[in-house]
Structure 1
Amino acid sequence: METVIQNTITNHKIMLDQHCKAIVGNQEMLARMIHEFVKEARHLSVKEIMKSIKDEQRFRWLNNENMIPNYGTVKFDMLCCVDLPQLNGTNKRIYLNVEIQNNIHPGYSLVTRGRASVLRILTIQWGREYDDKNYDGMKKVYSLWIMPQATKRKDGDVDVYKVKKERKNGEEGNKENYDEEELVMIYLNQKHDTTKKYPKHDEVLMPLVVFLNNRIDYQGKKDKGYGFKEIEREVKEMCDYANYLERKARNEGISQGISQVINQGKKIERKEKNIEHVRNVMNELNCSYQRATNILKLSENEKKSIEKHFQS
């Protein structure tokens, strides 16, 4: 019964997909991730980035489902674009994709899949940012992949993949011609000791590991929330839903366990009655065990279950 309960809880509670996406898509969390991993925003404070996110003229959510004929449909967890103010007074538009990936060993390389997502988002820009007459309009894509259930060894690792030019000869050209994509892989472990800061990116990694962690209750998440003000509703909803699933799973598991006990009891009772009936027939008719079981029309399984009680 315990196995049934544990399996049910595990299957339902390992990351509550929609609530996790709501937390990662929270304006403050999004602003912190942009501040930490988007180099075009390093000069901005989290508050300044949040101001851009709240400005409908600067920020917009994009359709997270993209279909290209003959190439299939791709669904993104989260996709948006934001215009970031630069020090020279201009704006820099970046496309940001955030993915939550629980299974870090899906049978293929997540890095390869991540790069495919980046290329797909570059393609999405066709006709909007660039076309065959102006490829220079292409905007940079950042794809952040968060693995909340990585191993302890990988906990806190952040790997960045981007295009790098190797100059064989001649002068250095304009980097902006090829600096159009960055894939950021973020590894977190559920059992991270939240009393210990991450060596790097702690302002983002710690809240992520806390808020996406189904091992910490709502009050614990609030206490370790690193000053988040506008994320409490999403966190509370996730915790409430997690607790609901756990109670539901336990109730279902207990009910299933009770049913198993009842069924087992019925089998034992039937077995004892079969033994009694076979003995009565053998005594009354002075016949063999085989003939008695045939007269009673017992199944082969029923015969095997009581056979040892009639062996001399």
Structure 2
Amino acid sequence: MVKIHADAISGMKAQYDEAAKRLLAQKSILALILKHTAEEFMEMTEDEIEACIEGKPEIASMSVEPGEILKTEITGISTESTVPGEGKITYDIRFVVYKPGEQQKIKLIINIEAQKKWDPGYAIVTRGIFYCARMISEQKHREFEKSDYDRIKKVYSIWICMNGPAGEECGIASYRFTKKDYLGQLPDEKQTYDKMEVVVITLNPEKQSENQMVKVLNVLFSDIMNVEEKREQLREYGVTLDSKRTEEVDVMCNLSDLIEERGIEKGIAQGIEKGIAQGKRQMIMELIQAGVLTSQEGAKWLDKRMDEAETDN
């Protein structure tokens, strides 16, 4: 007998989010993302970029209990940001990377967010701008003192939308400051204003892409591939997951069978199909009694007429 509880679903979603963040925080994956989103690293190899990532990326840890947010204690920059009067926000992943420079290394602060929905009720890029602004403002007393604003480090907020706009191709878009002269021509000192950038990546496992990063992310977050299919596909793309990362992919695959991130209705449908395959016909009847499914919907999954389903009910 199967019962669906809101708390159980919330708990499974939290576990899915946790596994997704830990998978993204693998340095090889971060290096791949930076190579295709940050102009500072596009001419470098992924191995070179990986060597530039300082310490171990900080990951915000989600409790399986709804509403709780914990902080994983890992060496690196904190995922928590608290500004008096502005409240606290928690970044999914945040880390520091140093790009080799002609005179000295260039420090950048990178934030990566895993977003399940393209349209969560607000514009993702706007939230990304807010995150960038917070990462800049909190550099006061950390990266610079008083009015030494030239010491501000550039920040990136990179958003990965697992489910992009329906029917649309995969995409990568950058949002940043540019200079435009309205009168005369002032010196274009890019390093003085190139301090924040939002990047939005939209995925669609049903669409093909020639971009290496998109191909890899599409496989990692695919809800139609099992673990072995994902490992085989990733090997073709030159990506090898260690045993720990494979376990995280396994967790995501198992949970996505129960929680379809594109809509709980499809997740229920998948669960029903599995129940039928296992002979658990009673599960469907309980869903009808609980009001989760109508008699017509139950009859559809049972492959029998509605009056027969109602009789059994």
Q: TM-score, normalised by structure 2?
A: 0.70
Structure 1 pair 180/219, CA: closer, same or farther in 2 (3 Å)? Answer: same
CA distance in 2, matches of 1:110, 1:26: 24
Matched, 1:176 2:203: no
The 1-side partners of 2:167 and 2:134 are apart by 31
Which of 131, 141, 144 is 2:145 aligned to?
A: 131
After TM superposition, list the pairs within 5 Å mapping 1:68-83 onto structure 2: 68-83=83-98
| 1:190 positional shift | 3.3
Give the C-alpha shift of residue 55 in structure 1: 5.7
C-alpha distance in structure 1 between counterparts of 2:160 and 2:201, whole Å: 5
Greater relative contact order (CA < 8 Å, ≥ 6 in sequence): 1
The match for 1:310 is none
Residues 70-109 of structure 1 correspond to what in structure 2 (within 5 A)? 70-86=85-101, 88=102, 90-109=104-123
Q: Distance in 2 between matches of 1:63 and 1:16?
A: 22
Q: Is the 8 A contact 1:96 1:141 kept in 2?
A: yes
* 1:11 Cα deviation after fit: 9.9
Deviations 1:28-86, CA, capped at 9 Å, x for gaps: 00011112212222232111112223667xxx632111111211111111111111213
Tell me what 2:42 maps to: 42
User: Please, which runs of 5 or more residues in structure 2 have no aligned partner?
Assistant: 57-74, 260-267, 291-313
Corresponding position of 1:120 = 134
- Contact 1:157 / 1:188 at 8 angstroms: preserved in 2? yes
Partner of 1:275 in structure 2?
Answer: none
Alignment correspondent of 1:212? 221
Q: Which one is further off, 37-46 or 237-246?
A: 237-246
Residue 52 of structure 2 aligns with which residue?
52
Q: Distance in 2 between matches of 1:261 and 1:55?
A: 52
Q: Which residue of 2 aligns with 1:257?
A: 284
**Against the structure 1 CA distance between its residues 128 and 259, is the aligned structure 2 distance closer, same or farther, given a 3 Å change threshold?**
same
How big is each residue's C-alpha offset from its partner over 1:243-274, in whole Å with a ceiling of 9 and x where there is no partner?
A: 267479849975643546899xxxxxxxxxxx
Larger radius of gyration: 1
Structure having the higher helix fraction is 1
Please tell me whether the aligned partners of residues 223 and 256 of structure 2 are also in contact (alpha carbons under 8 angstroms). Answer: no
2:253 corresponds, among 216, 233, 242, to: 242
Q: CA deviation at 1:23?
A: 1.2
For residues 171 and 143 of structure 2, what CA distance do their matches in structure 1 show?
33
User: 1:154 is paired with a residue of what secondary structure?
Assistant: coil
Distance, in Å, in 1 between the alignment partners of 2:216 and 2:191 is 33
Q: Distance in 1 between matches of 2:242 and 2:87?
A: 35
- Paired residues in the alignment total 252
CA-based RMSD of the aligned residues comes to: 3.5
TM-score norm. by structure 1 comes to 0.70
Measure, in 2, the Cα distance between the counterparts of 1:260 and 1:147.
31
- Superposed CA deviations along residues 85-139 of structure 1, whole A, max 9, x for unmatched, are 13x2521111100001112222222111111011011112111112323100000
Give the 3 Å change call, closer, same or farther, for CA 103–32 of structure 1 in structure 2.
Answer: same
CA contact (8 A) 2:82 2:89 kept: yes
1:81 is paired with a residue whose SS is strand
Provide the rounded CA distance (Å) in 2 between the counterparts of 1:260 and 1:229.
Answer: 41
Q: Which amino acid aligns with 1:45?
A: T
Q: Take 1:40 and 1:239, find their aligned partners in 2: how far apart are those partners? A: 34
Indicate conservation of the 8 Å contact 1:62/1:81, yes or no.
Answer: yes
- SS of 2:244 mapped into structure 1: helix
Amino acid at match of 1:35: K
**Secondary structure in 1 aligned to 2:96?**
strand
C-alpha separation in 1, matches of 2:289 and 2:115: 41
Q: Which residue of 2 aligns with 1:63?
A: 78
